[in-house]
A and B are shown apart, each in its own frame.
Chain A
Amino acid sequence: MLLEQLRRRIVPRWRDHRTTLALGELSQSRAPAAISESDSDALSLRASEWHASPTVWHAADLLSSAFAVGESGRFRDATDFVLTHRDVAPPALVGLAEKIAKPPQDRLVGSPESVLENAIGRLVHKVRLRLRNEPRNAIQWVELARLYTLLGASDRAVRSMITAVELGPDNRFVVRSAARLFLHEHDAGRALRAIRNASGARTDPWLLAAEIAISSASQSPSLLAKVGRLRNEDSALSDFERTELSSALATLELENGKSRRARQLFRQSLTAPNENSVAQAEWANREIGGLDLRGNLNDVPRSYEAHAQLALRKGEWQPAIENGLLWLEDQAFSKRPAMFTSYVCSLIEDYEQSVAILRSSLSVNQNDPVLLNNLAFALASANRLPEAKEVLRGTDYNAVSGTTAVILAATHGLVLFRSGFPDQGRELYRLAMDRAGALKVLKYRIQADLYLAREELLANTSVARVETEKALAAAEKSTEPDVAVISEQVRRLYREFLSSTTQESRHEV
């Protein structure tokens, strides 16, 4: 099993509406406008009417009017009056008075909730019930699309999202969610159309960031990068509003080989980041270095991805898994957190958890070759061979390309080893190593080499000693903790192998 080194782009996150609101990513605020003189006069008149006739209904009229123009805080006496007379006041009025007296906390971002499949079914029912009464509610269509995505019903998800975009083509939540789903469904063209057709496409920094990132992910030129650069310089934007835009532009610069400019922009994105821009900077730091994330990690809500990746780099496996699981719950439809967390679980030989994560992710990302490969690896490593073979059925290591061709060849080799065909297995491991060499991904080559040694040792082959020493020597070149932990496993097996061969020799003597 290998962790695919994917190039990261700051594509929009897709969470439920309430959480996205609470994270502040849907704000487009300005300094509160002053109340107009005519509104102020109307409120004064209503206040005097209430003082002349201090009844619940006059207080209701005053509070209702004041709340509409954001001035309810001025009429504490009317609020208290309603709360004191709650037994005769309509419940909705009492509710409003309570909200005025104690405004709800807007920015409370809790941990993501793990949603079980039957709970998703109930949520689908609830949302559909709302949509029966509110068929034009674009936000609820997005929610329905998200729930369908979690259930793996991608056709229904896409249809729901298309309806949402038709109903709310200019709304940031709708457009960014739609872009994320369409990208997930490998339809970058539709994702980009949704963004570019929005009325705020050329001004909204969150839409500009999404357009630049998705264009890059789909290897197509961004039509709005130039506008985005100008907008990024606009001092009217707050640092938080610009965080993803700066990050998307930085990634673009990095892809164009302009590391210095990329670093500057990443630093700008970290002035007031969200978790996505922190994760992007963490990834960029691995690529080009020179970025300091320490100040951001603990202050940014839901920065699980960055925490998980940093923990992996430090070899802190348990924090890596814990944050990986939270990342997965936060972005349950995404395969990246599933790949990451299952990889770390497999590293520490917790194959059962790895299998559970991968099976769950495969229900959403059906037939994804990397997820299938990782699942087969975990199953074979846990000696659940029939299941591993079943998973690998239909996969062809010659029909894929890139790093997927490396890992798939290696995993087929693993299954052959465990099935009692070491020669054929070895051949496939070597094929994987050659492919890794051709792709110039040394880490992949080293890991394939180590896993081959593991299998040679377990199969007690005649070349086990030679292969192991060669693999361990090659692994010495790597400083990465995940390579080190596999090396340690191989070393442990090698010690056991040596001691058993020594005992056998003594026995023979």
Chain B
Amino acid sequence: MVERDGHHAFLKALDYSKAEEIAKQSGIDELHALQILVEAYNFERDLLYECARKRMDRVVIAIEDGNVRVDEGPFGTVFYLIFERADGDVRNHLATAGKVELAWLLRCLHHVATGLYQLHSAKVAHQDLKPSNVLVFERTTSKVADLGSASVKGEECPRDAFEFAGDGTYAPPELLYGQRDAEWNRRRQACDVYHLGSLVVFFFCGVGMTSLVLSYMQEDHRPRSWGGTYQEILPEVRDAFGIALQEFEGNVPGDQLRAALREIVSQLCDPDPLQRGHPRNRIGVADQYSLERYVERLNLLARRAEIGVLESI
């Protein structure tokens, strides 16, 4: 935490200690690993400024960057980024707010969907949306944070070579089962779409969609034990997905909201990336993974909850 002009802000510094780990994992020397780290820092910094330039108001952007001299470390200096300080991530809000208002939850989801939509509009896939990366500002505004795992279409990005760029514990099922699609949209954007649906599930169930689905699968069919391909296991995943959706419904209050969110989640979290997204977006030249319709729908649901048309928790 740092202070700038009387305002508190959040500082994220480049962690050189990770170089050793990267070197070990990738079988490269430490200098090369440091170079990778610095490139990743530069990538995130440039991307954050690009987001700022495009006025992405639902993405946490840097307010300053630079470096400070230090006595230790390989370069005698540490690069940093300074972000606007948030109240905390969404978990803190859910935990401290006691009985969370339905309107707040839906507005938060609307903000997150908007953030992802803004990124996608700039051909950026976030790839690491999870509860800890949804920050809450002044209790009312939510933003998507951490572009460290992001990928930009048509550009070489630091984490593009990774099997899964984001947090593997939140990965969509196809990636956990080792299916890698070479097509950027299907591999990167489809992942964001899934993560958004999974976040909806987390808000109501306290469990991400992947875990909820896997909890309905036999141990030897789960990713760590499965020896076949994703296409072979996909019908089993889909069957478990159907049961998981039923459980999700049971955790959502009110018939109206339940039906609306079930439809949203079933489209966003479809286990087959080829079927993911809004059905109308799969026709013609439309962007299959466009979140525009979901932004509108979540906004509408949030608005209804705010004016008391939807049942509250």
Contacts and interface: CB of A to CB of B under 8 A. Distances in A.
Interface stretch (B6-14, B189-197, B245-253): B245-253
B303 interface: no
Contacts of A36: 168
B242 A57 contact: no
Nearest to B203: A90
Given A37-B21, A136-B238, A168-B235, A61 B226 contact: no
B231 A170 contact: yes
A401 B233 CA distance: 44
A74 to B, nearest CB: 12
Interface in A15-43: 17, 21, 26-30, 32-33, 35-39, 42-43
B176 interface: yes
B229 A67 contact: no
A70 B176 CA distance: 11
B239 A70 contact: no
A56 interface: yes
A508 interface: no
B94 interface: yes
Nearest to B262: A133
Interface residues of A, number: 62
Interface in A169-206: 170-174, 199-200, 204
Nearest to B228: A28
A61 B94 CA distance: 12
B251 A90 contact: yes
Q: Which among B25, B169, B205 has the highest number of chain A CB atoms within 10 Å?
A: B169
A106 interface: yes
A66 interface: yes
A82 B226 CA distance: 29
Which of B92, B95, B207, B236 gathers the greatest number of chain A CB atoms within 10 Å?
B207
A258 interface: no
Given A57-B206, A66-B169, A172-B232, A30 B245 contact: no
A197 to B, nearest CB: 12
A26 B223 CA distance: 14
A39, A136, A200 interface centre (most CB from chain B within 10 Å):
A136
A90 B313 CA distance: 12
Contacts of A200: 228-229, 232
Contacts, number: 183
Contacts of A67: 207, 211, 214-215
B225 interface: yes
A38 B168 contact: yes
Nearest to B271: A136
A400 to B, nearest CB: 40
B220 interface: yes
Interface centre among A39, A134, A140, A199 (most CB of B within 10 A): A134
Given A55-B91, A139-B235, A90 B204 contact: yes
Interface string B177-211: 00000000000000000000000001011111011
Contact of A69 (B21, B96, B168, B232): B168
A42 B207 contact: no
- Identify which of A39, A49, A66, A170 gathers the most chain B CB atoms within 10 Å of its CB: A170
Interface in A340-379: none
B227 A30 contact: yes
A229 B233 CA distance: 25
Contacts of B231: 170, 199
Contacts of A38: 168
A32 B226 CA distance: 8
Contacts of A270: none
The dominant DSSP class at the B interface is helix
Contact of A28 (B207, B227, B251, B266): B227
A134 B269 CA distance: 13
B167 interface: yes
A95 interface: yes
B225 A30 contact: yes
A139 B131 CA distance: 32
B224 interface: yes
B275 interface: yes
B48 interface: no
Interface in A59-106: 60-61, 63-70, 82, 89-93, 95-96, 99, 103, 106
A58 interface: yes
Given A33-B224, A61-B131, A92-B206, A26 B95 contact: no
Nearest to B243: A130
A60 B167 CA distance: 16
Interface string B115-150: 000000000000000111000000000000000000
A171 B95 contact: no
A92 B228 contact: no
A377 to B, nearest CB: 44
B167 A65 contact: yes
Given A26-B221, A49-B132, A57 B94 contact: yes
A167 interface: yes
A58 B91 contact: yes
Contact of B227 (A29, A136, A170, A171): A29
Contacts of B248: 92
A138 B239 CA distance: 8
Nearest to B205: A92
Given A57-B94, A64-B208, A42 B235 contact: no
A46 B231 CA distance: 31
B222 interface: yes
Contacts of A204: 228
Contacts of A29: 220, 225-227
Nearest to B213: A68
Contact of B226 (A17, A28, A92, A199): A28
A69 B225 CA distance: 10
A93 B207 contact: yes
Given A29-B226, A42-B168, 9 more contacts: A26-B236, A28-B227, A55-B94, A90-B251, A91-B250, A92-B205, A106-B218, A138-B238, A170-B232
Interface of A: 17, 21, 26-30, 32-33, 35-39, 42-43, 46, 49, 53, 55-58, 60-61, 63-70, 82, 89-93, 95-96, 99, 103, 106, 130, 133-134, 136-140, 167-168, 170-174, 199-200, 204
The 7 closest A-B pairs by CB, nearest first: A93-B206, A65-B169, A55-B95, A92-B205, A60-B206, A168-B235, A30-B227
Interface of B: 21, 25, 91-92, 94-96, 130-132, 167-171, 176, 202, 204-208, 210-212, 214-215, 218-229, 231-236, 238-239, 241-242, 245, 247-248, 250-251, 266, 272, 275
12 contacts: A21-B218, A32-B224, A39-B169, A61-B131, A65-B170, A70-B225, A89-B206, A92-B206, A93-B205, A171-B234, A171-B236, A173-B235
